[in-house]
Amino acid sequence: MSYMLGLKCRECDREYPKEALYVCEYCFGSLEVSYDYKALAKKVTRKTIEAGPKSLWRYRDLLPIDGEPAAGYYSGFTPLVKADILGKELGVKELYVKDDSVCHPTCSFKDRVVAVALSRARELKFDTVACASTGNLANAVAAHAAWAGFKRFIFIPANLEIAKIVGTLVYSPNLIAVDGNYDDVNRLCAEIAAKYRWGFVNINIRAYYAEGSKTLGFEIAEQLGWKAPAHIVAPAASGSLVTKIWKSLKEFDKLGLLEGELRTKVHLAQAEGCSPIATAFLGNHDAIKPVKPSTIAKSLAIGNPADGYYAIDVLKQSGGTAGIVSDDEIREGIKLLARTEGIFTETAGGVTVAVAKKLIDEGKIPSDESIVLAITGNGMKTQEAIREAVGKPIHIAPSLSSFEAEVLKAGCKL
Amino acid sequence: MPVKVRIPTPLQKLTSNKDEVEVIAGNIKELIVELEKSFPGMKDRLCDETGKVRRFVNVYLNEEDIRFLSQEETAVKDGDQVSIIPAIAGG
Ligand SMILES: Cc1ncc(COP(=O)(O)O)c(C=O)c1O
Ligand SMILES: [Zn+2]
C-alpha cells in the first residue's frame, strides 16, 4: 500500500505523475513528493512504526515507494548518543549526537537517501543508476547498487579524498573523475542525464532520493521518546538535508506522533570556504550567490546549492540560524567530538560540532534546552584533513628502558 | 554572431525537440529575447516577472556560470556555447 500521490512543483504547485521527473516544465522549480496525509493519519501510529524493522524502512509509509524496498535493508536507525561529556565541555545541559558515522553500509547519512532512491529506481525500471557526488553519495550509490544489482556510473570531482575514491572503487562501479569542482560535475551530469536513460539519484530521481533524509529526523524524534528536540544543528551542502529534517518533524507533528508542540529550531552549519547558504541567510540577502569552494570539508563543497532557498526558508520558519566556521575550527570540532564522546566524524561533522559550539558560545542556542547534533559522516574517510592536527605516536625501541625514557620525554605521566 | 544554445529537456517541447539551437545576440539578455522570438514561450519559462533569470535556472557561458561573470549583461560572441541547466541537488 502506497500513500505517495505524485510530484508537485515546490515553486508553482503544478502537479506531475510520480515518474523520473525532477523539474517543473514550467518554472524550473524542483519537484517534491506529495502524500495522502489523511490516509496516513488513519494508518500510521507510534505502535505501527515501533513494530517495523530496525532500519529506516520502519518509516516506509512516509517514504516514496509503491512496493517493497529494494535497497538499504540495514541502513538507518543509528544511535542517538547522549553526549554528556561534550555537553559539559560546551556548557549545555542536554546534548545528543545523532551518529550517522556508523550508518550501514558506507558510514554516512547518504545510505539513507540512496536506500530510498534505488528502491524507487527499481520501481521506475532503471537498470543503471548514476550520481554526481562530493564523496559520500559516491560510496553509498556504489555499495547499494552493488547489493541491489544495478549497473552504476559515478561522477566525482577529481580532487576527492583518497578514502572516498578507494571506498567507491572497491564496489566495482564505473567511476569517472572529472577535472573540476562539484558544480562542474553536476552541470556535466545534467547533460548526461538528459541523454542516457539512467536513474541519476540526485537528478531525475532526486525527488525520491531527497525524501530519504527525512528518516534522520524521524529517528531523532522517535529516539527521544516521540519528542522533537528544542534545537537541531545540521550541516548543509545542497541544503537538502536541513530542509528534509524540518519536513520530517512537521510530518510527525501533522500525524499526531509527537509529544507536545513542535518548537524545534533548525540551525544550519557551513564551512568558511563554502558558505553560500549561511552567508545569504546571515546577511539577509535575497539571492544566494554561488561560490567556488575552497575548504577541507569537501563533502559540503557545493558552491551552487540547489536547495539553498528552501533551507533558508526552514531557518526562518523554525526560528533557527546559521553558523560559519574556519578549517581550523572544523579540525578542532572533529577532535573535540572524538576526545569527549569517542566518535570520529569526518569534516562535515567537524563543521556541525564547531558551529554548535559557536552558536552556544554566542548565546544563540541557550544552555538549558535540548540540542541534537546531526553527525552525518565518518572520520576514517577524511583522514588527510586532520593528519597534521592530531600529533604523532611516541616512537620507541622495543625495550622497557626506551619506553620509559621516551614516554617521560614526551611529557606523559606514568 | 551565432551562439550555440543547449536546450534542457523540459524546454525541448518549445524547440521541436532540438537540444541545441543557434541564435544571434550580443549578450545573455538579448539572447533570451532572440530565443523568445524563435520559440515563443521561452522567456516566460526562463525569467521571472521582473525579467531576471529565475533563481532555479543556471545559465553557463562556455562552462562558466554567468553569476560569476556579468549576469544577464554577460557578453557573448561568435562560436560561444551557452547552456541552460536547471539547478540540481547534491551530495
Ligand atoms: C557527510 C555529509 N553531511 C552532510 C551533507 C549535506 O547534504 P545536503 O546536500 O543534503 O545539504 C553531505 C552531502 O554530501 C555529506 O556528505
Ligand atoms: Zn513550477
Contact call for residues A144 and A119 (beta carbons, < 8 A): no
Give the closest-approach CA distance of B27 to chain A in angstroms: 21
CA distance A164 to A142: 11
pLDDT-derived band at A118, boundaries 50, 70, 90: very high
Partner residue opposite B91 with nearest CB, options A134, A288, A289:
A134
Is B64 part of the contact surface with chain A (CB cutoff 8 Å)? no
CA distance A145 to A128: 9
First to last CA, chain A: 64
Give the closest-approach CA distance of A59 to chain B in angstroms: 22
CA distance A19 to A59: 21
pLDDT of A26:
87
Domains identified in chain B and CATH numbers? 3-86 (3.10.20.30)
CA distance A304 to A292: 8
pLDDT-derived band at B8, boundaries 50, 70, 90: confident
pLDDT in tens, B34-91: 999 999 999 999 999 898 899 889 899 998 999 999 999 999 999 999 999 887 766 6
pLDDT in tens, A42-63: 999 999 999 999 999 999 999 9
Q: Is the pLDDT of residue A292 over 70?
A: yes
Is B45 part of the contact surface with chain A (CB cutoff 8 Å)? yes
CA distance A146 to A35: 30
Distance, CA A29 to ligand 2 centroid (Å)? 5
Which phi-psi region, left, alpha or beta, contains residue A188 (left: φ > 0; alpha: ψ -120 to 50)? alpha
pLDDT of B55:
87
pLDDT of A1:
76
Contact call for residues A365 and A359 (beta carbons, < 8 A): yes
H or E, element range at A361: helix A347-361
pLDDT in tens, A297-336: 999 999 999 999 999 999 999 999 999 999 999 999 999 9
Distance, CA A236 to ligand 1 centroid (Å)? 6
E strand map for A321-369? 322-325
Which residues in chain B are contacts of A137 at CB distance < 8 A?
90-91
User: What are the φ/ψ torsions at residue A9 (nearest 5 degrees)?
Assistant: -70, 130
- Cell representation of residue B49: 516577472
E strand map for A306-395? 322-325, 370-375
pLDDT of B91:
63
Q: Which residue, among A11, A22, A28, would best test binding to B if mutated, counting the most B CBs under 10 Å from its CB?
A: A28
Nearest CA to ligand 1 atom 13: B91
Q: Is the pLDDT of residue A215 over 80?
A: yes
pLDDT-derived band at B1, boundaries 50, 70, 90: low
pLDDT of B87:
78
CA-closest candidate to residue A294, choices A322, A267, A326? A326
Diameter over CA atoms, chain B:
39
Partner residue opposite B89 with nearest CB, options A28, A29, A306:
A306
Residues near ligand 1 with C-beta < 6 Å? A 108, 110, 134, 136-137, 235-241, 299-300, 346, 348, 376-377; B 90-91
Partner residue opposite B89 with nearest CB, options A28, A240, A292:
A240
Averaged confidence pLDDT in chain A: 96
CA distance A278 to A294: 15
Residue A173 buriedness (CB in 10 A; 0-12 / 13-18 / 19+):
buried
> Are the Cβ atoms of A27 and B65 closer than 8 angstroms?
no
Distance, CA A312 to ligand 2 centroid (Å)? 19
pLDDT of B24:
94
Average pLDDT rounded to a whole number, residues A202-229: 97
pLDDT-derived band at B9, boundaries 50, 70, 90: confident
Average pLDDT rounded to a whole number, residues A29-35: 95
Domains identified in chain A and CATH numbers? 80-106+212-385 (3.40.50.1100)
DSSP states of A34-95 = EE-HHHHHHH--HHHHHTS-SSGGGGGGGSS-SS---S-TT-----EEE-HHHHHHHT-SEE
Q: Is the pLDDT of residue A146 over 80?
A: yes
- Percent of the residues in chain A that have a pLDDT greater than 70, as a whole number: 100
The residues pairing with B59 across neighbouring beta strands, listed in sequence order, are B84
Q: Is the pLDDT of residue A130 over 90?
A: yes
> Are the Cβ atoms of A190 and B54 closer than 8 angstroms?
no
Q: Is the pLDDT of residue A98 over 80?
A: yes
CA distance A196 to A200: 10
Nearest CA in chain B to A25: B10
Q: What is the best residue among A98, A101, A106, A109 to mutate for testing ligand 1's pocket, by most ligand atoms within 8 Å of CB? A: A109
pLDDT of A414:
81
The dihedral through the CA atoms of A34, A37, A43, A44 has a sign that is positive
pLDDT in tens, A338-388: 999 999 999 999 999 999 999 999 999 999 999 999 999 999 999 999 999
Give the closest-approach CA distance of B63 to chain A in angstroms: 8
Contacts of A345 by beta carbon, 8 Å cutoff, 6+ apart: A101, A334, A337, A338, A352, A353, A375, A376, A377, A378, A379
Average pLDDT rounded to a whole number, residues A390-399: 95
Which phi-psi region, left, alpha or beta, contains residue A357 (left: φ > 0; alpha: ψ -120 to 50)? alpha
